[in-house]
Amino acid sequence: MADDQPWKIPPIVQELAAGVQEPPSRYVVGEQDRPAVAAAAMPEPIPIVDLSRLSAIDDADDEAAKLLSALQNWGLFLAVGHGMDPGFLAKMMGVTRGFFNLPLDEKQKYSNLANGKEFRNEGYGNDMVLSEDQVLDWCDRLYLIVEPESRIVRSLWPAQPPAFCDVLREYTARCREIAGVVLANVAKLLGLQEGRFVGMMDEGVAMTHARFNYYPRCPEPDRVFGLKPHSDASVITVVLIDDVVGGLQVQKPNDDDGVWYNVPIVPNALLVNVGDVTEIMSNGLFRSPMHRAVTNAESDRVSLAMFYTLDTEKEIEPLPELVDDKRPRRYRKTTTKDYLAVLFERFTRGERALDTVKIDLNDD
């Protein structure tokens, strides 16, 4: 219970940041893990993929080749031609900022602490705290289920700003279209039927989660994480990034040198990355990238991530079409529910959930 373990309820970072000259010790990362002020130079650019050209007869092959390169080398890409105009994206970012700029009492109406003490994933606040020595992130978040309708908790959808719910509903529908285009093309690139992944998203109670992030200014950004290194427990993730302030860093999935690279700012582009579920189902042909958020001494930052997950009871394992003698099974079977539980727990320790289902092919 949080009553006798007050460390389980850390302060709202936005409020904390307004009154400190240096980050409190609970947020300070060990020296060996601290984010570099300047990330490494890119070995090659993260591809920009025009989604509108993926379905154009004359351009599809060229754009699909770009997508393949992106997924093989980075596990992610920057999406343009997605059908959302700059004005609408600005509106989505505007209501996101508008929510975090509300008075604290108003935001606390949507708290992720049930009865003020029991943590739940959905709602406004911080991520789960499991131990007193856990390093905390310099971030507040609002976490909502946005699909399907039957799983939405309307009482957690903010009434302010007034346009928040309407804009989010439209954005959710538009992102669903993007997810469908990307998943259809991922299937084709793997030699599968176009509807292989899209069909899974329609089975049972597949869910879409929206995570709104707020990263306050930090007086010492080289000592904290906005969000600690992690990969996503999704099939794919679609991220709306602040066009003004950078802060997302990524590792190349196939490199073991641990180098971090800044994701460039491309106005009105969406970042799309494959998640752990796609890595498992593709038997490692497409890898889920490790990424992290860093902070800034001069500016705050917001972002919005849409996570596409399967039915909680869905079994996740390499697809049989992608397993053979030359490429044996590389991941153990799990379920969405079990994997999410492992991910949330390991995330708090800065560990990767994917490691718990990998099969060591050298251990024969």
In the chain, the percentage of residues whose pLDDT exceeds 70 is 96
Query: Per residue in 98-137, is it b (16+ CB within 10 Å) or e — as a string?
Result: bbbebeeeebeebebbeeeeebeebbbbbbebeeeebbbb
pLDDT bucket at 1, cuts 50 / 70 / 90: very low
Asked if 159 contacts 38 with a C-beta cutoff of 8 angstroms, the reply is: no
Note the pLDDT of residue 3. 54
Determine, yes or no, domain membership for 361: no
Determine, yes or no, domain membership for 95: yes
pLDDT bucket at 37, cuts 50 / 70 / 90: low
Quick one: DSSP state of residue 89?
Answer: H
For residue 306, pLDDT beyond 70:
yes
For residue 21, pLDDT beyond 90:
yes
Residue 151 in tokens: 């799983």
Residues in a beta bridge with 293: 227, 248
For residue 56, pLDDT beyond 70:
no
Residue 277 in tokens: 């579920």
pTM to 2 decimals?
Answer: 0.95
CA–CA distance, 233 with 230 (Å, rounded to integer): 9
Note the pLDDT of residue 254. 84
Angle of helix 164-189 versus helix 86-100 axis, rounded to 10: 120
CA–CA distance, 279 with 271 (Å, rounded to integer): 18
pLDDT bucket at 363, cuts 50 / 70 / 90: low
Determine, yes or no, domain membership for 1: no
Residue 110 in tokens: 């949507």
For residue 323, pLDDT beyond 50:
yes
Backbone angles phi, psi at 146, to 5 degrees: -115, -15
Note the pLDDT of residue 9. 85
Q: Which residue has the tokens 């099969």?
A: 359
Determine, yes or no, domain membership for 169: yes
Angle of helix 164-189 versus helix 60-73 axis, rounded to 10: 90
Determine, yes or no, domain membership for 363: no
pLDDT bucket at 52, cuts 50 / 70 / 90: very high
Determine, yes or no, domain membership for 362: no
Note the pLDDT of residue 246. 83
Neighbours of 94 (CB within 10 A): 15
Determine, yes or no, domain membership for 53: yes
How far from 69 is each of 47, 72, 76, CA to CA, in Å? Answer: 8, 5, 10
pLDDT bucket at 7, cuts 50 / 70 / 90: confident
Q: Give me the amino acid identity at 48.
A: I
Determine, yes or no, domain membership for 89: yes
For residue 58, pLDDT beyond 70:
no
Q: Which residue has the higher pLDDT, 96 or 243?
A: 96
Highest mean pLDDT among 3-12, 116-125, 152-161, 354-363: 152-161
Number of domains in the chain: 1
CA–CA distance, 361 with 149 (Å, rounded to integer): 42
Note the pLDDT of residue 315. 95
Taking residues 311-340, what's their average pLDDT? Answer: 95
Contacts of 287 (CB under 8 A, 6+ apart): 75, 253, 254, 274, 279
Over the stretch 250-301, which tens digit does the pLDDT of each residue have?
999 988 788 999 999 999 999 999 999 999 999 999 999 999 999 999 999 9
CA–CA distance, 110 with 104 (Å, rounded to integer): 10
Q: Which DSSP string do the residues of 149-216 spell out, in sequence order?
A: GGG--GGGS---STTHHHHHHHHHHHHHHHHHHHHHHHHHHTTS-TTHHHHHHTSTT-EEEEEEEEE-
Weakest mean pLDDT among 1-5, 59-63, 249-253: 1-5
In three-state secondary structure terms, 10 is coil
Residue 234 in tokens: 């999704």
CA–CA distance, 37 with 17 (Å, rounded to integer): 19
For residue 174, pLDDT beyond 90:
yes
CA–CA distance, 25 with 8 (Å, rounded to integer): 15
Taking residues 35-54, what's their average pLDDT? Answer: 86
Q: Give the domain range for residue 202.
A: 6-356
Mean pLDDT across the chain: 92
Note the pLDDT of residue 168. 98
Q: Which residue has the higher pLDDT, 4 or 118?
A: 118
Note the pLDDT of residue 361. 80
pLDDT bucket at 57, cuts 50 / 70 / 90: low
For residue 345, pLDDT beyond 60:
yes
Q: Is the bond preceding residue 11 a cis peptide, omega within 30 degrees?
A: no
In the chain, the percentage of residues whose pLDDT exceeds 90 is 79
- CATH number for 80: 2.60.120.330
* Residue among 119, 124, 179 at smallest CA distance from 147: 179
